[in-house]
Structure 1
Amino acid sequence: MQEYKIESFDGTPIHCYVWDEVENPKAIVQIVHGMAEHAGRYAAFAEFLNKQGYIVFGDDHRAHGKTELFESVGHHEGDIYEDTLNDIIYLNNYFKTKYKLPTMVIGHSYGSFLSQGFLQRGIDVKGVILCGSAYMGAVGIAGAMLVAPLHFFAAGWRPKFVNKMSDVIFNRAYKGEKGASLWITRDAAEREKFIADPLSGIDMSINFDYSMIKAFSRIYKKANLAKLNPDTPIGIFSGTMDPIGGKNASKAVQLQELYKNCGVKACELHLYDGARHELLNETNREEVFADMLVFINKCFE
């Protein structure tokens, strides 16, 4: 694995991880990580895909990981969602040109919402996986109105109580269990790694929250949904105990229905009973790896 920075569309240096030690590679998989984490956490999955003939790369998004100075992690100026989406597009084109191979995208959580926006940009990719995702159409306008006053006065504020409150709310479903970040995965060892990682579980700024909520009000508009390429296969992967995906993955089901109603010809839904938010770090991750590989292989047939 290599790590280096690439100047993005606006000159911002973006920290990238590249797993390219592959003999006769057949395609490229771009990983788009979630909120309050970094792309380095996907090494095990990337190495698995390397063995299957795929080059893998990912970046630390704006406000995340090694793209920021440590003291700045959690915040970035500007429209963070929109600028990060443009970074993802820029990097997709960069690595597609570098290796002269087709690409597909796997987005997790916040990365899946970036990938939902990516699907509307007309970029030539062979498929998209949305992991730990949901339909968030009801959040956009109302959420933006609630956060707007805070954004006006304190865009750079990184309130610690938001992270703590979210953890408490998300953990309620796991009765009889104790500890932090229960909603992340059933695997206690993986939870401990997440908690111990100084670049994971970080406090995000009001500007970050505002930019993401505003994006929800855009990506579900009819005019933008009309930009979807019906021939791009979409795979939605969700655990039934993932609070982001709703009770029994109801919001993941809604997302599949949305794409089908928009004319997407191939939109698969893979549900994992009892699994939580980070499927790639779950106790049944080998099953998830194998299922994703089947989908990826189909995309490049």
Structure 2
Amino acid sequence: MFEETRRLESPTGASLAYRHQAASGAACGVLLICHGMVEHSGRYGDFAHSMGANGFHVYVHDHRGHGETTAPDAVRGRFAVRDGAAKALDDVWAMRNLATDAHPGLPVILFGHSMGGLIALNVASDHPEGFQGLAIWNSNFNQEVAGRLAQLVLHIEKALMGADVPSAILPRATFRSWGRSIPNWRTESDWLNSIPAEVDAYLADPLCGFDASISLWLDILRLTFRGPTVLGRLPRGLPIHLVGGEDDPATNKGREVLWLEDQFHRRGFQRVTSRIWPGTRHETLKEIVRREAMDDFVHWARAAVASQTE
């Protein structure tokens, strides 16, 4: 658990709520976390504690329209009235600058889960020298056909209802469909985790599972389609860490994580690591393999930052 929530006034006009875990002992790096859709930064306390105990200063903020972050143009479930995707990316860069100002000279790893992975790849590609490691967990960038159809549906909904109301179709086509694809499903959120207590905790959290606006869905798709087109801007020697769950319907059972790995390899990236965890669904950090997955990531992260000084 984090001890407190702090505030950063972003150049985008958002008042970003963020949490910080200081490194224990001598610090070796900074970890900047981007959380997923319709959740919040407070859910990353265990992960932050693990990374802090291994020498990383950890920062995780609530994205626009999520958690305790506020902005005049970002009610819950919306990045912004317009240019929401760009503003969400700029907020991450503001957090990166906060962290580097506080810890000058330390290498920075950018980590993103699910929607956060979409954001992380786009931010890193916009600032190719700004990060010394990139981790993308449980994200699906390979949505060309289904994604274009979803865009069409969302634009029709937007024309009929406006952009700032919840989509009637997308939650059914994604969350509900994924939940019901789980054998002997108990709730429509079972796609998140194989541990019932973790699913129940998510459902009981007032800052999780809220309705996403049509505009937020459209912004997410913009990031999805853009990511593979700009990743070539990244340094070919950048350490990249990809993770998926073998039973995660959101990533086609991990196949789309491996698709992203292939995109990196095709462009000549030399330091790409991937792992698809058996028996796990979407939230690896809260799954049955959480400790092993965290330990695995610590090993990778420490090697990534150590390579910056070689």
Post-superposition offset of 1:178: 1.8
Query: Quick one: structure 1 residues 174 and 238, their matched pair in 2 at CA, closer, same or farther if it must change by over 3 Å?
Result: same
Post-superposition offset of 1:31: 0.7
CA distance in 2, matches of 1:6, 1:106: 19
SS in 2 for 1:49: helix
Where structure 1 has 5 or more consecutive residues not aligned to the other structure, the ranges are none
TM-score by length of 2: 0.90
Identity of aligned residues (%): 24
Match of 1:237 among 239, 243, 252: 243
1:181 aligns with 2:189: yes
Count of residues in Structure 1 that have an aligned counterpart in Structure 2 = 297
8 Å CA contact retained: 1:151, 1:210: no
Report what 1:36 is aligned to. 38
Aligned pairs for 1:97-246 within 5 A: 97-100=101-104, 101-121=106-126, 122-138=128-144, 139-152=146-159, 153-159=161-167, 162-163=170-171, 166-221=174-229, 224-246=230-252
SS in 1 for 2:95: helix
Question: What whole-Å deviation, never above 9, does each CA across 1:115-163 have from its counterpart, x for those lacking one?
Answer: 1212311242111111111232515544433322333451100246643
Post-superposition offset of 1:51: 0.9
1:26 maps to amino acid = C
Post-superposition offset of 1:227: 1.2
Report what 2:302 is aligned to. 297
Of 20-29 and 280-289, the range deviating more from structure 2? 20-29
2:272 maps to amino acid = C
CA RMSD of aligned residues (A): 2.0
Match of 2:57 among 41, 48, 55: 55
Post-superposition offset of 1:192: 1.0
CA distance in 1, matches of 2:75, 2:241: 34
2:215 maps to amino acid = N
TM-score by length of 1: 0.92
8 Å CA contact retained: 2:23, 2:51: no
